[in-house]
Structure 1
């Protein structure tokens, strides 16, 4: 019994470690905290040693071939051998399958970032073996309280291997802004988990793997309801009887409610407060107000025009089909994640080979006319250049003595430098510059959002004119195909009232 538990714990430690070998966790000593017929809890300890091997000392027999991340994203997967025979593309994680074992997969791109999830949506995922008997192997995260970045932080889940991950702290889709940094002699500790590994089996799942997936979802709901677990014996783990409870109601005091029907924008003013049914509420320590990402204030003045939906993603904008040389990455029932395709960034240069995007407020439709990311344009074989987008709008009147506001919300940024010009692109100094920002790499990782950025840019009325005005959004960095920004939402506000 003890030997079996030792092997299982070693296997789980390998599985929950990040796929990069240097992140593997190898215990140099361990202590049995509790062991009985129902439960075994082990404490592994290791002091960092630069000379220690990076490879987990395990032999693993891998037979899982059907992967499930969500109701929509589930499919038969290629193998490590298929990847090794394929063609590496723009970065090492992306491989074109040129001669896979399953011929249906030929021409597809395998890329672990296809299977990333927002942490709020990543409570259960895993693999199914379709051999006899069918077996499901599931990672269940009953809580996100020990993960960094909040509910919209994206993390890896599963990928070819078969590999199952549970990621607690990472800079994926965020960059160094979310890296945990320590000062000299700084003391710090954090309890991670526990996570739940669930195995299930059902003979009928050979024909219908979703049987095991549906059962795993039911078990996930049970584990969420059981959180926080009571069995963990670490003195640092906070059990339910040590936690407080907060109750109350949250209302949105801003009574401006927007509805968009195709390109027609209607607005009404609610006479009552609006229930914030889709809000997230978090508790923080006393002190200066903050949030789980970067929070800012409400609008400064009445909305004159807006582009997009303020949901912290770029999902509502135009997402092209992938380049024709790559097969569309499909899932169960031929469903597909529109933005989780390889090479979408290359399509900007196809649609805008010479002139950049121009958006006319009032006639353009952001779901068709606003490309999902402001990326670079390829010049020649290996050179790239930044791009300059135009937003053209009309003002019936201008108060030259007042300040207007451009609310510029970015869903992601990677190695970008975004300049804002008002009615004069040629002026030497931009009206506003973000400076060098972002390390999310969300463009390459099919992320549709990364770390959120919000800028409230004051614009003097004397810079505007009655009639036609133009705001230039200039992304000046141009060293690679992955530099750029994804917009979440842009709003132009009138003077403060």
Structure 2
């Protein structure tokens, strides 16, 4: 099979089916030796009747059948113990216990205490709605002081909705902290589904990111690498995967793109998908990254996490603060196909279902009162312009701007916001935008424009009432700017993707990303290539000579000096000034796309001056780990650094950028954009 299976063309798809058949033969003994702990009936192929519920008290299970599939939920725990579909008794992994197949969990801690992994099992069970066309079930865990060392102090209501004619089920949760509960931090809320490893081998996240995946035992026989999630496959079940890297973070995705992902079984052709029709309940805005699906096979619905951001985006509840939030609904969608193009058709069908779910949001069949319908929501419209007098005498369109409503805060606070709801859109070519389906409440309007530094915030609070349609008219963003541009490095797009991303080590590759060159930053171990490319001295970049696409390494990392002893690294920017303007200060606009346990020091023409002319200090709670986790960006940081003319000279000048924290390989920063500005007064037009 070899390389052809990685091209995903027609020949590759044929080979994929041959692979599935081979895997089914291999898994025969698995099925015979591991019967399910409960017997799951096979679903009918068509919906011949409405939604039916059977509560089997003796087995503590609720069985729901809508004629297309069967869903098995533990009572009163509310765990998904089985999914019968397409002639398959159970899509979930029957080798696991019932409570370890489809479940909710919360990661939390008392302030300054170790974290606790809390599997959320309901204590009471209730049928909320039961009609021929729809069934909604509720599984509630109410917190009380007697379990204060075990469960997160909040009330959690897990709900499932099964509809007639829908091949799949909706899941959502209500997390509630009444006033007066004790202080906690909460860093993760998610739903986990563990699928049968004898069936599901093909994973799809996007049109470009889909492939045959390793088996879980391949990780066990592999070679652990620099952190536990990364493993070199040395003796995989599928020999074509030998020598590849498996790492769940290689399949992470930004919120705005994390709408549908899942797995495909080849025999019978069956798809399992998680569809998230709205990001309103996710934390930290549209470009926050998170996990999707990975080896297990496992699919995740991530609601809250600190991935690619650190504790700064984790929830902190203090002084008895009351709080309630609805997470979801998300749809677990099931599909099947008997045609020869099963893989393609299942993925395309999942995308069509995703589009339908997005269009249907907010759902009109959710019974919970705190989930507002369309006519209980509002909208905000306007047009964003950019005023930068050193770029253009005229206003510029806020083309393709990200524009969003989030809880009130400072400019840019949306990327660290975690307790409320956010609503985002993209402006068109002339900066016009419409944000629809917004929950009632008080918001600030935020924006940022690709190609322009900084964050915009509308200076008036916006109150959304039921049915409101607010038109803000023309809005003008004046980005940070002191004077005309002397030179610049990079593109202000909040990522480091435009810089030099090296080729991975030939022995440490994920072949998916040798095909999809756009995502080559997702390869493992790229941080180690810095020392290979700069073995004797650190990076030197000369303005007017160097090219940031080839000469600016994508991450400013530490240097492995000897025997895992790490040292700080100092990069140099060399530039020439014909004459130093004495009438005012210069300004260095320095934007970071990521910071992980870093401290950036900036010096001008004197590499030894102490203290440095400017230092970020240990970047506050900057722990996004994007370097190790192939993220190309974490949180955005912008520093506008005044540079007295006395620091510069006529002729050649040097800027020294030192990443001073150096205890390990993953400390460092990714730059988004650097610009040196003259003192104000000299316009470019």
C-alpha spacing 1:381/1:311, structure 2 compared with 1 (3 Å): same
Aligned residues: 481
Query: Out of 167, 170, 181, which is 2:302 matched to?
Result: 167
Q: What is the CA RMSD across the aligned residues, in angstroms? A: 2.5
Shift of residue 77, structure 1, vs aligned partner: 0.2
The answer to whether the aligner puts 1:10 opposite 2:79 as a matched pair is: yes
Query: Out of 192, 203, 220, which is 1:67 matched to?
Result: 203
The answer to whether the aligner puts 1:381 opposite 2:563 as a matched pair is: yes
C-alpha spacing 1:218/1:129, structure 2 compared with 1 (3 Å): same
Query: Matched residue of 2:139: which SS?
Result: strand
2:11 corresponds in structure 1 to none
Inter-partner Cα distance in structure 2 for 1:321 and 1:396? 38
The answer to whether the aligner puts 1:101 opposite 2:233 as a matched pair is: no
Inter-partner Cα distance in structure 1 for 2:526 and 2:677? 32
2:385 corresponds in structure 1 to 251
Alignment of 1:30-179 (within 5 A): 30-47=125-142, 49=147, 50-51=149-150, 61-62=196-197, 63-132=199-268, 134-179=269-314
Inter-partner Cα distance in structure 1 for 2:586 and 2:608? 22
Q: Encode CA deviations 1:446-474: one digit per residue, 9 max, x unaligned.
A: 00000111111111111111111111100
Query: Matched residue of 2:352: which SS?
Result: helix
Q: What is the TM-score when the length of structure 1 is the normalising length?
A: 0.91
Query: Matched residue of 1:451: which SS?
Result: coil
Deviates more, 1:412-421 or 1:335-344: 335-344
2:600 corresponds in structure 1 to 418
The answer to whether the aligner puts 1:280 opposite 2:385 as a matched pair is: no
| Structure 1: gaps (5+ residues) | 258-268
Inter-partner Cα distance in structure 2 for 1:81 and 1:244? 50
C-alpha spacing 1:19/1:185, structure 2 compared with 1 (3 Å): closer
Contact 2:573–2:654 (Cα < 8 Å) also in 1: yes
Shift of residue 421, structure 1, vs aligned partner: 0.5
Q: Which has the higher strand share?
A: 2
Alignment of 1:299-378 (within 5 A): 299-330=481-512, 337-378=519-560
Contact 1:75–1:331 (Cα < 8 Å) also in 2: no
Contact 2:303–2:327 (Cα < 8 Å) also in 1: yes
Inter-partner Cα distance in structure 2 for 1:305 and 1:486? 19
Deviates more, 1:478-487 or 1:243-252: 243-252
Alignment of 1:195-206 (within 5 A): 195-204=330-339
Contact 2:308–2:634 (Cα < 8 Å) also in 1: yes
1:394 corresponds in structure 2 to 576
2:362 corresponds in structure 1 to 228
C-alpha spacing 1:60/1:484, structure 2 compared with 1 (3 Å): closer
Query: Matched residue of 2:120: which SS?
Result: coil
2:57 corresponds in structure 1 to none
Inter-partner Cα distance in structure 2 for 1:70 and 1:59? 20
Query: Matched residue of 1:443: which SS?
Result: coil
Q: Encode CA deviations 1:256-308: one digit per residue, 9 max, x unaligned.
A: 66xxxxxxxxxxx4x65333231111124567555423854422211111100
C-alpha spacing 1:479/1:136, structure 2 compared with 1 (3 Å): same
2:626 corresponds in structure 1 to 442
Instruction: Compare relative contact order (CA 8 Å, sep 6+) and give the higher one, 1 or 2.
Output: 1
Inter-partner Cα distance in structure 2 for 1:377 and 1:333? 30
Q: What is the TM-score when the length of structure 2 is the normalising length?
A: 0.67
Shift of residue 359, structure 1, vs aligned partner: 0.3
Shift of residue 103, structure 1, vs aligned partner: 0.4
Query: Matched residue of 2:325: which SS?
Result: coil
Query: Out of 659, 670, 673, which is 1:486 matched to?
Result: 670
Contact 1:17–1:166 (Cα < 8 Å) also in 2: no
Contact 1:330–1:336 (Cα < 8 Å) also in 2: no
1:192 corresponds in structure 2 to 327
C-alpha spacing 1:302/1:52, structure 2 compared with 1 (3 Å): closer
| Structure 2: gaps (5+ residues) | 1-51, 54-61, 65-70, 82-98, 108-115, 153-190, 417-453, 456-478
Query: Out of 80, 98, 123, which is 1:28 matched to?
Result: 123
Inter-partner Cα distance in structure 1 for 2:553 and 2:310? 23
Larger radius of gyration between Structure 1 and Structure 2: 2
Alignment of 1:207-226 (within 5 A): 207-226=341-360
C-alpha spacing 1:193/1:58, structure 2 compared with 1 (3 Å): closer
Shift of residue 238, structure 1, vs aligned partner: 2.2
Q: Encode CA deviations 1:372-398: one digit per residue, 9 max, x unaligned.
A: 000111111211111000011111221
1:261 corresponds in structure 2 to none
C-alpha spacing 1:287/1:444, structure 2 compared with 1 (3 Å): closer
Inter-partner Cα distance in structure 1 for 2:541 and 2:121? 54
Shift of residue 334, structure 1, vs aligned partner: 6.8
